[in-house]
Structure 1
Amino acid sequence: MANKLVIKVTAGADAPERCSQAFTVAAVAVASGVEVSLWLTGESAWFALPGRAAEFELPHSAPLPDLLESVLAAGTVTLCTQCAARRDIAQADVVEGIRIAGSQVFVGEIMADGVQALVY
């Protein structure tokens, strides 16, 4: 069984169900005691900015700010370097606790022993 789960979410408001699934799985894994690393890429990059998660709505799903907060409290949240640059997002702009890192860090995480990776 994997002792770490790396989740890469590429969807945002453009694909709300896929986006919500990624955040939900991350939050449930954290609550279950699994080490979680959530990567925000593509359109999900916007959720690294303060207040953006609160703008997301999907009926019958947990509020995105709550899910993000739970992952931040016990896991790692990373904003893709290139995705941030394409959106003019700097480290000073993001929610406290979210780091900006690139593919080298992502590959290092997913190639470690005991890691399971998911892409949404």
Structure 2
Amino acid sequence: MNRALVIKATSGEDAPERCNQAFTVAAAAAASGVEVSLWLTGEASWLAVPGRADRFSLPHAAPLNDLLSGVLSGGRVTVCTQCAARRELTEADLLEGVRIAGAPTFVEEATREGAQALVY
């Protein structure tokens, strides 16, 4: 059975330590060969917009843009449909490889056999 990790980041610059933790765990898992799906919700949605992760700064933490690149190279990144709509974001506004999907897709990923879901 393949193990998968589904991580939901619920904060962005409004709670930088919690946000960075979600990205750090997702990037570490992707680098380890674990199947990773990182969901960006709430203020974390903005970090899928080109240039936004570059501006994120947290002392003693890996640069968020590097973590995001690591996840994108070895996993999947999704922005919540409602969160994107509230911010007037479309897939054309997002980094290449980032998709927009809703709760049914999150539930499907999080409840499949072998999946572990974490929410930060």
Fold conserved between structures, TM > 0.5? yes
Q: Matched residue of 2:37: which SS?
A: strand
Q: TM-score by structure 2 length? A: 0.98
Map of 2:50 onto structure 1: 50
Q: Following superposition, which runs of at least 4 residues in structure 1 exceed 2 angstroms of deviation?
A: none
Contact in 2 for aligned 1:30/1:75 (Cα 8 Å): yes
CA RMSD between the two structures:
1.0
Deviation at 1:91, TM superposition (A): 1.0
Structure 1, unmatched stretches of 5+, are none
Map of 2:67 onto structure 1: 67
Contact in 2 for aligned 1:2/1:116 (Cα 8 Å): no
Give the % identical residues: 67
Map of 1:10 onto structure 2: 10
Contact in 2 for aligned 1:39/1:78 (Cα 8 Å): yes
Q: Matched residue of 2:77: which SS?
A: strand
Map of 1:90 onto structure 2: 90
Q: Matched residue of 2:59: which SS?
A: coil
Deviation at 1:2, TM superposition (A): 6.6
1:64 maps to amino acid:
L
Aligned equivalents of 1:14 and 1:2: distance in 2? 34
Q: Matched residue of 1:28: which SS?
A: helix
Q: TM-score by structure 1 length? A: 0.98
1:60-112 CA-partner distances (Å, limit 9, x unpaired) = 00000000000000100000000000000011110000000000100000110
